[in-house]
Amino acid sequence: MKFKDKTILVTGGAGGIGKGIVTALAKQGARVAFFDINEDKGKATEEEINEITECMFVKVNLMDKDDLIAGFNKVIDNYSTIHGLVNCAQASKNVSFMDTTEAEFELSFGTGFWPTFHLMKLSYPHLKENQGTIVNFASGAGLEGMPTQTSYAAAKEAIRGISRVAATEWGQDNININIICPIAESEGVRAWRERMPEAYDKMVNEIPLKRLGDCEQDIGRVVAFYLSEEAKFITGQTIMVDGGSVKLR
């Protein structure tokens, strides 16, 4: 029960990797609050997690800053503080560079970058008080320049950029911040496989471990480790949890 009496806020927790994280944290004793735009899946996940631990789902559209602030205030009203923040939610569209418009940037930055930035700022006083931790999500697609991912790659690399700056500035407050780049069999990836089966097969074939990760076992548990006391001396790092696809130098 590594996270006994600790409250962790996770975005995009209704499904995919976010749900894997919520589940892994719940199994290790955390109180979990999570945001998602998908109400049906959010309620179903909340019910499932409530069997394990105290859990709170708040329907939030992360593209709407007022909604995000109201959601954050609900979590603080209910649990009084948070000890950890995981910015996992993201939406994007696959479009060639030449066909990319500001609309795709609005979606990628609106669901990924801006909520990450705003939630980091809103969480700061609580994390400072609790010497807490942040885990943000980026992607090998940004690091490697995967085709059709212009706006997504930009949003993900922007998330890595602000994570490293905050890791430097907030180190004196004993807040550590790391970035996970996963590959896992989420709903989002399943939908992508249907749209682009050849790209999916190529990706799996190029993974040294020849499989996608499991959202809870392979990603959620690693996120739990980076939120834990054991990882408190690690900050500002990008961690590839991708079966060996990208090897950082």
Ligand X SMILES: NC(=O)c1ccc[n+]([C@@H]2O[C@H](COP(=O)([O-])OP(=O)(O)OC[C@H]3O[C@@H](n4cnc5c(N)ncnc54)[C@H](O)[C@@H]3O)[C@@H](O)[C@H]2O)c1
Minimum distance, C-beta of residue 18 to ligand X, in the bound complex (Å): 5
Asked whether the beta carbons of 155 and 104 are under 8 A apart, the reply is no
Q: One of 79, 152, 200, 226 is an active-site residue; which one? A: 152
Residues between 220 and 239 that touch ligand X (CB under 6 A): none
- The helix/strand/coil state of 145 is coil
Q: Is 33 in the site for ligand X (CB under 6 A)?
A: no
Q: Is 71 in the site for ligand X (CB under 6 A)?
A: no
Which tokens in the block code for residue 196? Answer: 């682009």
Judged by CB under 6 A, the stretch of 8-16, 23-31, 95-103, 117-125 that binds ligand X is 8-16
Q: Is 152 a catalytic residue?
A: yes
- The helix/strand/coil state of 200 is helix
Q: Is 111 in the site for ligand X (CB under 6 A)?
A: yes
Which tokens in the block code for residue 91? Answer: 């939406």
Q: 101 burial class (0-12, 13-18, 19+ CB within 10 angstroms)?
A: exposed
Q: What are the angstrom distances between the C-alpha of 142 and each of 135, 137, 155, 231? A: 17, 11, 8, 25
Asked whether the beta carbons of 95 and 148 are under 8 A apart, the reply is yes
Judged by CB under 6 A, the stretch of 2-10, 13-21, 74-82, 116-124 that binds ligand X is 13-21
Q: How many binding residues for ligand X (CB under 6 A)? A: 28
List the end-to-end C-alpha distance of the chain, in Å, as a whole number.
Answer: 35
Site string for ligand X, 114-153 (x = CB under 6 A): -----------------------x-x--------------
Q: Which residues bind ligand X (CB under 6 A)?
A: 12, 14-18, 35-38, 60-63, 88-91, 111, 137, 139, 182-184, 186-189
